[in-house]
Homo-oligomer: A and B are copies of this chain.
Amino acid sequence: MDLDPNILHGQQRGTLAAHLGIRYVEVTRERVVAELQIRDELKTAGGRLHGGTIMAFADTLGAVATLVNLPPGAGTTTLESKTNFFAPGRDGTVRGECVPLHRGRRTMVWQTRITDERGRLLAQTIQTQMVLSAP
């Protein structure tokens, strides 16, 4: 099922996703796209976009992508997440695009690429979500 980004923005009010400022652009079973504007409080003391911001951004997208693929009543939790960093982010808006590597009954694996406004790849995250069946 596709999700209206505004519904997600409402559901995530007051959570980390809102605290970081994640704005969803597209939420479908095949792809989740979101944006994040770089602000001081998302940076390191050295003035770069914090790796932790990037990992939290990607983790959020992978969890949302799992949610829209779950059977009714099921839940999800992140089992593991791995990020490689390629280039520093400094200013402007970064974009995260999350696509599936695997969607099974027990686990789903998502790949999220984080790019800057020029399309340069800043980081790539792969994460495994456990599918928690309805009791």
Contact = CB atoms under 8 A, between A and B. Distances in A.
A130 B55 CA distance: 18
Contact of A15 (B41, B59, B80, B81): B41
Contacts of A84: 79-80, 101-102, 109, 126, 128
Contacts of A53: 16, 56
Contacts of A93: none
Nearest to A43: B15
A19 B121 CA distance: 25
Contact of A88 (B52, B77, B85): B77
A57 to B, nearest CB: 7
Interface of A: 11-12, 14-20, 40-46, 48, 50-53, 55-60, 63, 75, 77-86, 88, 101-102, 104, 106-107, 109, 121, 124, 126, 128, 130
